[in-house]
Amino acid sequence: MSSELRRSTNGNQSESPPYTSDEFAIRVENVSKCYHIYDTPRDRLKQFVLPRASRLLNYSPKQYFREFWALRDLSFEVKKGETVGIIGRNGSGKSTLLQIICGTLAPTSGDVAVHGRIAALLELGSGFNPEFTGRENVYMYGAILGLGTKEMDERFDKIADFADIGEFIEQPVKTYSSGMVLRLAFAVIAHIDADILVIDEALAVGDARFVQKCMRFLRAFMKKGSVLFVSHDIGAITSLCNRAVWIHNGAEKLSGSPKQVSEAYLASLFDGDSDVEKQAVLDNEVPRVAGDEDYRDMRLEYINGTNLRNDIELVEFNPAGESFGKKGAVVTLVSLEDEQGHKLSWVVGGEMVTLVVECSAITGLRNPIVGFYLKDRLGQTVFGDNTYITHMNKGISISAGKDFSAKFRFRMPVLPNGDYSIAVAIAEGAQEDHVHYHWVHDALIVKVHSSSICHGLIGVPMKNIEMLVVE
């Protein structure tokens, strides 16, 4: 088990701190960080030479720099098993704080204690040597975290499979695209048995299937480990965190529930002038609830005649995609169809569609259940359903070797821009007690290219909108 490390103002680490660590993973105590800002290189040289000479001559030394305090007396804790989000405007000190916690930067004053092995995903490619190959960087990263060659040998195949960059794993990192670098970095931190995960901004980057893979890892990690991450994404903060800390000008502005802190932060953005950050928050705001599908949005015909039409691209079913289950039955094809039964590669939000899940029974089945989820980029379930309630009293039996399908007819919701995935599954039994035969994580990838929805997770159809003027 990793020992506890305490980092003080001189950047040194020592074991056995003067307080118990049974309850926390990270403890930040009165941490401050000051940078010296010089107007010219000449001033930097003067500061190095002249104050020493002044003290020798018993003169009061002159200061040739300005102080910039990135952090001021910041204190908070991350308990074991807790997920804490750090929010704040650009330049508020968030990234500086994470670097101090990870030990790549020493505080000017204050102390940081970390209990357990910490893995960090900070700036793109940080910790990687661009001249080394991907394989060499994996082993180097492991060595930094105290893992020997044998331990990394045991993990390497899983890391390479997770990163899924093919033969590039044997090429220098300087030849990688930014997406490949982040794939490799995320793959490493996912397989080093860390107790604490620290992420700066990028929860996951890459194609939709890799993003979903990262979110599955993160949500599984959150059940047993501690997570600290920086994000402007209010949706991510409220969805993933147990607690949030708002940092403003290097100091704690507010700490509390993600909803409370996010709402206060959002209000401050609208009181200020930060249009870029304001829009970033709006793009990822908290979810709305889907509306009734029995009617069309009164504005749909108008919207569909503009560039705000909700164009949704569908990436065809991948039979070799990531899945699990006992394989008493398997999913053979997943598709969306229009009202005439034609398979779709493109659909418009607000139109009627049918999700078809085609399956094959490997063994005899009794009371099979077929279901699906539509998930967003954070792995949150936007909506989903299954066949259980509709067919629970019909006593359906399917012989081994028989093909069967389930169809779900609904109005395609209006979705904000971004990537989504549809997961499908076959089970046998009851809603509360069943056996999974085949669960396909990313059976269909859904790419939304344009939308009239500026924020929220889903568009609510408006049956009627009125504005009345009182005379």
> pLDDT tens digits for 26-38?
999 999 999 988 8
Q: Considering only 64-78, 131-145, 202-216, which range has the smallest mean pLDDT?
A: 202-216
Residue 370 has pLDDT above 90, yes or no: yes
Confidence of residue 132 (pLDDT cuts 50, 70, 90): very high
Residue 287 has pLDDT above 50, yes or no: no
**Helix or strand run (H / E) with residue 391:** helix 388-391
Give whole-number Cα distances, 176 to 205, 234, 388, in Å: 14, 31, 47
**151/143 Cα distance (integer angstroms):** 10
**Helix or strand run (H / E) with residue 313:** strand 311-315
The tokens for 70 are: 């990135």
User: Which pLDDT tens digit goes with each residue over 266-283?
Assistant: 778 766 545 545 555 545
Q: Which whole number is the average pLDDT over 421-434?
A: 87
The answer to whether 310 and 347 have CB atoms below 8 angstroms apart is no
Closest CA to 182 of 201, 195, 157: 201
Q: Average pLDDT of the chain?
A: 82
The β-bridge partners of 12 are: none
Q: Which whole number is the average pLDDT over 237-262?
A: 89
Q: Which amino acid is at 130?
A: P
Confidence of residue 337 (pLDDT cuts 50, 70, 90): very high
Q: Give residue 126's pLDDT.
A: 64
Confidence of residue 16 (pLDDT cuts 50, 70, 90): very low
Q: What are the φ and ψ backbone dihedral angles of 261, each rounded to 5 degrees?
A: -70, -40
Q: What are the φ and ψ backbone dihedral angles of 314, each rounded to 5 degrees?
A: -115, 125
Q: Which whole number is the average pLDDT over 19-24?
A: 63
Confidence of residue 298 (pLDDT cuts 50, 70, 90): low
Q: Considering only 12-16, 126-130, 245-249, which range has the smallest mean pLDDT?
A: 12-16
**Residue 85: HSE in the Cβ half-sphere, 13 Å Cα cutoff:** 27
DSSP state of 262: H
- Considering 155-164, 287-296, 299-308, 309-318, the range whose residues carry the highest mean pLDDT is 155-164
Q: Considering only 110-114, 199-203, 271-275, 465-469, which range has the smallest mean pLDDT?
A: 271-275
457 alpha-carbon distance from chain centroid: 15
Residue 89 has pLDDT above 90, yes or no: no
Work out the percent of the chain whose per-residue pLDDT is above 90: 33
First-to-last CA distance in the chain?
Answer: 74
Q: Which whole number is the average pLDDT over 424-435?
A: 86
At CB < 8 A and 24+ separation, what contacts does 235-241 make?
235/284, 235/285, 235/286, 235/287, 235/378, 235/457, 236/85, 236/203, 236/284, 236/378, 237/85, 237/87, 237/261, 237/262, 238/262, 238/286, 239/378, 239/380, 240/83, 240/85, 240/378, 241/83, 241/84, 241/85
Q: Which whole number is the average pLDDT over 235-243?
A: 84
- The reported pTM is 0.69
Residue 1 has pLDDT above 70, yes or no: no
Q: Give residue 33's pLDDT.
A: 93
Closest CA to 415 of 453, 445, 381: 453
Q: Give residue 439's pLDDT.
A: 92
Q: Which amino acid is at 469?
A: V
Q: Give residue 9's pLDDT.
A: 54
Better-predicted residue by pLDDT, 17 or 152 = 152
Q: Give residue 22's pLDDT.
A: 62
Give whole-number Cα distances, 339 to 343, 344, 374, 421, in Å: 10, 10, 20, 22
Q: In 10 A of CB 454, how many CB atoms?
A: 12
Q: Give residue 289's pLDDT.
A: 39
**318/321 Cα distance (integer angstroms):** 5
Q: Which whole number is the average pLDDT over 194-198?
A: 91
Domains of the chain: 4-116+195-282 (3.40.50.300), 300-448 (2.70.50.60)
Residue 193 has pLDDT above 80, yes or no: yes
C-alpha dihedral (443, 444, 445, 446), degrees to nearest 10:
-150
Q: Which whole number is the average pLDDT over 83-99?
A: 90
